[in-house]
Amino acid sequence: MRFAGVKALDGVDLELSQAEILGLIGPNGAGKTTLVNAITGFQPLTGGSLAIADRDVTGWSPARLARLGVARTFQGVRVFTNLTVAENLEAAGLGVGQRRRRARRRATEVLELLGLSHTAQLAPSSLAAGTRRLVGIARALTMEPRFLLLDEPTAGLNEDESDELTAAIRATHAELGCGVLLIEHDMRVVMGLSDRVHVLDNGTTLAVGLPADIRANKDVIRAYLGDELGLSSVNGA
């Protein structure tokens, strides 16, 4: 991915299976959100390719990728403020081609799964920050994704809210069997949720491995902190 001659992503090779939660981490400006935007069709690639189950989907629009099973959330929760929570979810289902009855039933199922049934007829703006973020995830799940990409889902949340959201992500992955790509700065969340961790730095892959291996990787520590003195920060302590 290039912007006016600047390489935002260079030679990144990322693979995600439906059986795993993959953490995507890196310092600010490492290219994490740019990568997710590229995967979901919001920014066109200037090189390389994207495939789903060996099917080349390079250059597909966000809507077309969504219908194939790629759903995402954004750093800032984007909702239709004139719709209720349930209607927001139904709109997502309709957007990927579900019939109205199916979209409504799916919305009800997802709200129940995430413990949000009590919010169905409420306006999203009336909800606490952590609950609004959960609604954003619920809306993506209503699309029945094969892959769910979460862009900093715990940003701005306190520790208790982060723990609740983390538990919901874990339960969702186990129940629905969709692969999860998790962009997150909270190392406690990343290391607690991820089966593997992919580290970006300056638009390139710095390391890929199990959480324990990433914690101990000196190159990762340097990328975050500039030296080897802050291991506890990378560990999330």
Sequential pLDDT tens for the chain (237 residues): 888 878 889 989 999 999 999 999 998 889 999 999 999 999 999 999 999 998 999 999 999 999 999 999 988 888 888 999 999 999 999 999 999 999 999 999 999 999 999 999 999 989 988 898 899 999 999 999 999 999 999 888 888 888 888 998 998 898 888 999 999 988 899 999 999 999 999 999 999 999 999 999 999 988 876 644 344 445 554
| Whether 63 contacts 37, CB under 8 Å | no
What's the token pair of residue 20?
A: 């795993």
**Residue 200 · residue 34 · CB < 8 Å:** no
Q: Which residues contact 170 (CB under 8 A, 6 or more apart)?
A: 21, 193
Q: In CATH, which of 2.40.50.100, 3.30.300.160, 2.60.40.10, 3.40.50.300 is domain 2-69+145-235?
A: 3.40.50.300
The pTM of this model reads 0.89
What lies within 8 Å, CB to CB, of 105 at 6+ separation is none
Domain ranges of the chain: 2-69+145-235, 79-143
Residue listed under structure tokens 């340097």: 222
Distance CA(188)–CA(193), nearest Å, equals: 9
Neighbouring CB atoms inside 10 A of 62's CB total 15
Determine the pLDDT at residue 11. Answer: 87
- The secondary element (H helix, E strand) that includes residue 95 is helix 85-95
